[in-house]
Amino acid sequence: MASRPEQFRDRGPIVFKDRGIIPSIFRRREQKGPEYELYELSDEAIEVLRDAYVMEGPHRKLVDFDLVPVSPRDRRALERRKKWHQGPPTKREWTEIVGSIDELRSRAERIILPRNGKTAALQLQREFLLAELIAHSTFYRGKTNQEFPFEEFISLTQGIRPQMIEESTLMAQIDSITKGFGAIDSESIERYRREHLVSEETLPDKMRDYVATYLGTVSDFLGKKITPELDIEAVKEDDYWIDWIDGDHERFSLKINTHPVRHASRWTEGKVEAMAAHEIAGHAAQMESWKNAIDRGELLRVLGLTSVHYPGQIPIEGFAQTVHLFVPSLHRHFSEHTESELELEGLRQMIYNNIHIMVNTTGSTDEEMIAYMHRFLPAEPEDEIRNQIQERRDDPVKRTYLYAYGIGFRLHQWYAGNLTIEGKRELLRFIFSQSTTPEQEYHYFLQLVSDRSGRYGSIRAPFSDSQTLPSFIDNSSPSSYTLPHGAAGETA
């Protein structure tokens, strides 16, 4: 059994599980064998990760969504422990946390599942869990003063090798945006925002107006009903995010950021619709689907604990930024500038992808990186660029997490451009069924476009001028299992 941090020993167990229900993928006459061992490991990992989350102190980062059912008694116990731990762990305590995670990782490596069609989805889940534990171990080793080179840090936490996005891709994105806005210089964008600004007081209600419509559209596309419980409120946070959604098994919470300097002036009617698509049709719909998969016993429970510093974020954020490219009927609900707002944010994030690499590897000055941004997007405020540079260089969480956005947008833009409507539906069913690493999602995409019938798509457009397929994901080692199209998701 994985050892738990010392603060939680000899105080009685924190029980966060319901042994009355055995997930269907583990339901068998004898509770033994590698499948059941993986189930046991999953629940132990929940305990260790929740313990680590509590011990992080008031600025907790480990858990983003927690989709695992928790009894009222256990929830009260968790809240009490969070109140008790108001300071960060010591170096010794961080070392102990890493040791507990590494013990789980070692056990996950030793679990060998039988290779057959019935365990295909479970093979994926074990692979993801292993990648997740590696990410947590890597991230928390930084708390013990162990340093990783930037490329290795991103690879171990986000599951992808960092790579610059080619300038030809940025220029093509600019061309597509210019058709919608007319121009993207500072004066034009500022004028557009002034003319279409939404008042702060009406923002939460406007966002609520899109919940049923957008969720219904995604539900119809996937052929299953998705209806999360969602609270919406406005906040003023001096942070990079304009929206933030998280939550637990019972409810999700969406925060709309109206910080007067960083975000208030960006809330146009089109931006409200664009962020509703991102947060509601994207994140809320996907997380509700994972929660339902856990409840049905189709998904390892530990995979219901998401984190911003783990390898699920590129598929999560990449899809949410490009949801309009995957769900065709969403366009029917957009006003004039909504799609342009989505594509403008995609350009912004792709430029920041390159700045993220520059600030961590090249020694470029702030002025050089500001000039680089303004070469492609003159409307980005200089103060915001400086904030982003500092956050991407000095904040350990943002140094990993913010890298997911730009490359995630480009990957999913490319996926959507090479898939038919049926192929897009299959890819979404897949990533709505369970957590995936960038490599797992990529190889599923390759399976779709390799289907000889052409039903799901084909490689019609290269990833970039110099790469038909992206070189920062391993193209030489296809998945060690074959997942039939649609097998991982509901079809009705």
Assign 254 to helix, strand or coil.
strand
Judge whether 231 lies within some domain: no
The pLDDT score that the predictor gives to residue 302 is 98
Range of the domain at 75: 6-158
CB contact at 8 A, 352 and 402 = yes
Distance CA 94, CA 405 (A): 28
Residue 309 CA neighbour count, 13 Å, CB half: 23
Please give the tally of structural domains in the chain: 1
Judge whether 312 lies within some domain: no
Distance CA 161, CA 163 (A): 6
Judge whether 138 lies within some domain: yes
Contact residues for 146 (Cβ-Cβ < 8 A; gap 6+): none
Judge whether 333 lies within some domain: no
| Residues in the chain, pLDDT under 50 | 1, 3-23, 26, 28-30, 478-492
Distance CA 135, CA 265 (A): 36
The pLDDT score that the predictor gives to residue 180 is 86
Task: Give, for 48, the enclosing helix (H) or strand (E).
Answer: helix 34-55
Q: For the whole prediction, is pTM greater than 0.75? A: yes
**Which amino acid is it at 83?**
K
**Cβ atoms < 10 Å from Cβ of 234:** 15
Judge whether 83 lies within some domain: yes
How far is CA 435 from each of CA 52, 271, 439, 465, rounded to the nearest angstrom? 21, 28, 12, 30
For 132-154, write each residue's pLDDT tens digit. Answer: 999 999 999 999 999 999 999 99
Judge whether 275 lies within some domain: no
Judge whether 320 lies within some domain: no
The pLDDT score that the predictor gives to residue 229 is 97
The pLDDT score that the predictor gives to residue 481 is 40
The pLDDT score that the predictor gives to residue 115 is 77
The pLDDT score that the predictor gives to residue 491 is 31
For 233-255, write each residue's pLDDT tens digit. Answer: 999 999 999 999 999 999 999 99
Q: Which two tokens stand for residue 101?
A: 């995670």
Judge whether 89 lies within some domain: yes
**Cβ atoms < 10 Å from Cβ of 280:** 28
